[in-house]
Amino acid sequence: MRYLVTGGAGFIGSHLVERLVAEGHEVVVLDDLSAGRREHLANVRNRIRFIRGSVLSAEACRRATEGCDYILHHAAITSVPLSTSDPITAHAVNTTGTVNILFAAHRANVRRVVFAGSTSAYGDTPELPNHEEQLPRPLSPYAASSTARTQARPHQVAAREVARRGGMRANVTAVVAEALMASAAG
């Protein structure tokens, strides 16, 4: 199988890339290296395709997605201080970047898109452990944009409609944005 790991030079992404390579999969990484490091991929650098680019670029997303079966979408601005000093960029990367990936995934007939939600969506609620029925109460721009992208399903529907109108196969509906609850650390 061929996987695209966005944010593959970051903390979670680089571990996923190592695991996928070890399991014999083809791996493409799309990362702008704004926070991630090439060194995180040192053990697998000769066995992956690395694209330095941004999820804000529809063209980069298209190029990275070509021929992929699955996408693990982890490109994001994850720093709360950075999201506070530059909320517009954080919002763009974390939400518009996700929509770009969903659209590219649809065009490429990708089977499934998976990304990690964040418990920061639930703020400082005393009700623990968090669960997805809780009302979102994000307390930072990072948390707000993380929350927004877990609501990306309408964009998935739109992607399908755009594809249909463009004459692409309309019966490919397997692009599913799944908000995975992060581990307890999240």
Ligand X SMILES: NC(=O)c1ccc[n+]([C@@H]2O[C@H](COP(=O)([O-])OP(=O)(O)OC[C@H]3O[C@@H](n4cnc5c(N)ncnc54)[C@H](O)[C@@H]3O)[C@@H](O)[C@H]2O)c1
DSSP string, the chain: -EEEEETTTSHHHHHHHHHHHHTT-EEEEEE--SS--GGGGGGGGGGSEEEE--TT-HHHHHHHHTT-SEEEE------HHHHHH-HHHHHIIIIIHHHHHHHHHHHTT-SEEEEE--GGGGTT-SS-S--TTSPP---SHHHHHHHHHHT-HHHHHHHHHHHHHTTS-S------EEEEPPPTT-
State which residue, 7 or 141, has the beta carbon closest to ligand X. Answer: 7
Q: Identify the active-site residue in 3, 70, 122, 142.
A: 142
State which residue, 58 or 182, has the beta carbon closest to ligand X. Answer: 182
Judged by CB under 6 A, does residue 35 bind ligand X?
Answer: yes
Does residue 142 have an active-site annotation?
A: yes
According to CB under 6 A, which residues from 160 to 179 bind ligand X? Answer: none
Contact residue for ligand X among 3, 4, 5, 13 (CB under 6 A): 13
Judged by CB under 6 A, does residue 33 bind ligand X?
Answer: yes
Contact residue for ligand X among 146, 147, 150, 156 (CB under 6 A): 146
Place of tokens 């649809």: 106
What is the pattern of x (binds ligand X, CB under 6 A) and - over residues 60-99?
--------------xxxxx--------------x---x--
- Contact 102/156 with Cβ under 8 angstroms? yes
Judged by CB under 6 A, does residue 44 bind ligand X?
Answer: no
State which residue, 89 or 172, has the beta carbon closest to ligand X. Answer: 89
Q: Applying CB under 6 A, which part among 2-10, 43-51, 123-131, 170-178 lies near ligand X?
A: 2-10
For the bound state, the minimum distance from the C-beta of residue 165 to ligand X, rounded and expressed in Å, comes to 28
What CA–CA distance (Å, rounded) separates 143 from 137?
A: 9
Site of interaction with ligand X (CB under 6 A): 6-7, 9-13, 30-36, 54-56, 74-78, 93, 97, 116, 118, 146, 182, 185-186
